[in-house]
Amino acid sequence: MTAAVPTLIHNPEQLEARLQEIPLQPGVYLMRDRDGNAIYIGKSTKLRSRVRSYFRRSQALSEQKQLMVQQVADIEFIVTDTEAEALALEANLVKQEQPYFNVLLKDDKKYPYLCITWSEDYPRIFITRKRRRNNEKDRYYGPYVDTGALRRTLQLVKQIFPLRQRPRPLFKDRPCLNYDLGRCPGVCQELISPDEYRQTLQKVAMIFQGRSQELVRDLSSQMQQASANLDFEKAAKLRDQIQALEQLNAHQKVSLPDDTVSRDAIAIVSNHQHASIQLFQVRAGKLVGRLGFFADVSPAFNSEDLLQRVIQDHYATVDDVEIPSEILLPQAIFDQEIISNWLSHRKGRKVALTVPQRQAKAELIAMVEQNAHYELERTQRVADRNQQALQDLAEILDLPEVPRRIEGYDISHIQGSNAVGSQVVFIDGIPAKQHYRRYKIKDANVREGHSDDYASLAEVMRRRFRKYAENPDLPRQEDSAFPDLVMIDGGKGQLSAVVEQLQQMDLLGDLPVISLAKQREEIFLPGESLPLETDAEQLGVQVLRRVRDEAHRFAVSFHRQQRTAKMQRSRLDDIPGLGFQRQQTLLAHFRSLEYIRQASLEQLQEVPGIGKSLAQQIYDYFH
């Protein structure tokens, strides 16, 4: 058995030798535990001095940093040429490694983003709760606190500018009604070139970059030029766009004495559980954006660390032109000068980070702080209500503790065809979609014309909890992936099938399981012939209903996907030489079987992997 790697704090000679290897230059340091995992990443203008400070007994460290130092088994470093490079590298490494002791913002889909997919020839624009990093060219704006205002703004933008209205074309050979109404430039039929369309999107992006006034000036110049060229139709369209843009921000006036400076104002408010951070974007005296960030706090919470992380994460993802000339802070941060130099270098002009002393700017910070406080209170009320509902559920089911992780299961099919199962997960009463799972039912007895929900649920349970049955020594209650409660969508029959399967796996004693019937919202327990006496509207039952409805929705959507894919594949399977992979490529290219049928021989040959001979076979099959 390999001996455990000692931590550096308990091996002074190795610690000193490692510290001597670290240079006195700017760079980033990574502290790793015994398993080689990065537990903290930091930066410094003098690497050795900063790292050594963690191990000095005289150094006053927070409780969190003291706990971290006890776990450090190795220290790595990366030297950079400048402080700004170290700052950027640290931000990238933190996102990549996600160290436990770094203050990281929650990515829990609390606030939405607006995305423009610049990686595509004809970029899409849409609202999303998840910030994907699949392509560096795609651009995310936000996160926005006011979801309703964001949706209204996007709706108005689509009325002002002719934009792509649908994610997929409605017709294969002609544009839809949006083109005739002037709402879409005919992207689906490529009636506008990619360059022309991207120019329109660049105007839209200026709105969400807080550059509406600059956009209005550009459009006004274009309108005057069109009028001088006697192109009055174009001039009228530009006039209408200018008027609509001016109305869009007319109600967002912020009273500041200097309305020529672009500035951001940031404030942070926290309690014993959460921290709420708000960032107001003020351009030319107008509030053009209100962004929100959220984080859980620990007993050793440090508002300065979190504030600096927000600033680094936010400005690392914005375009250089979006960086304001002034950033107002509620308090000083440790690397304030480094961050100011980094932003100034990117912007090409001075960017000041200041803690305001003058009354007007201090009042702006106070206004942002007040909004952050309201958002924190709202979030806390939701959390408290969820906690009350879970406590009520624990009392209803006579559970020893409040169930933190609840899993819901359902089966979906049409007379046995394309039978699938769903697993949804709620943590602290909130859907945790990253833990959702879908199951294709493999039981040969479940087929078209012969359904068996009981056998299907038993199979899902067997596949979900197989690892615990095969490894009895595997910890269960300590495992965060092991549920505190399992809820089955159904009545006594479905519950009995699940209970029988869990008994065979010797898991029933550790795993509370119930079912919730649809018609009367009745809760059934194992071995009980009658449902519990409950009120369908009490908080605990409402939690179960949300889990049940989500499991049903997730199962039905997956079943529809499988049924549609099977219908498409059923005809493509009959074409000689067209295997599964090429079928997927065809469907991804043409979007539907009907479009494949309508495609010409030349269009079929344009699909990657489809040669002239195979294209001829596909064309002959449909014709």
pLDDT at 29: 93
Domains, the chain: 8-97 (3.40.1440.10), 113-248 (no CATH), 264-270+295-378 (no CATH), 398-562 (3.30.420.340), 573-622 (1.10.150.20)
pLDDT at 254: 56
Which residues share a beta bridge with 139? 116
Residues 296, 273 contacting (CB under 8 angstroms): yes
pLDDT tens for residues 160-185?
888 888 777 777 778 888 888 888 89
- Classify residue 530 by its DSSP letter: S
Helix, strand, or coil (residue 160): helix
Name the token pair of 281. Answer: 């974007």
pLDDT at 56: 82
pLDDT at 154: 85
Secondary structure element (H or E) that encloses residue 282, with its range: strand 274-283
pLDDT at 288: 76
Question: How many residues can be counted in the chain?
Answer: 623
What's the burial of 515, exposed, middle or buried (CB within 10 Å: 0-12/13-18/19+)? buried
d(CA 158, CA 152): 10
Q: Among all chains, which residue has been given the structure tokens 């455990």?
A: 4
In the predicted model, residues of the chain with pLDDT beneath 70 are 1-5, 57-64, 103-110, 133-134, 247-260, 298-301, 478, 565-570
pLDDT tens for residues 350-397?
999 999 987 788 888 998 999 999 989 988 888 888 889 999 999 999
pLDDT at 110: 67
3-state SS string over 189-224? HCCCCHHHHHHHHHHHHHHHCCCHHHHHHHHHHHHH
Name the token pair of 448. Answer: 């078209």
- Classify residue 435 by its DSSP letter: G
Residues 109, 129 contacting (CB under 8 angstroms): yes
Which residues have CB under 8 Å from 421's CB, separation 6+?
A: 409, 410, 411, 412, 438, 439, 441, 456, 457, 459, 460, 555
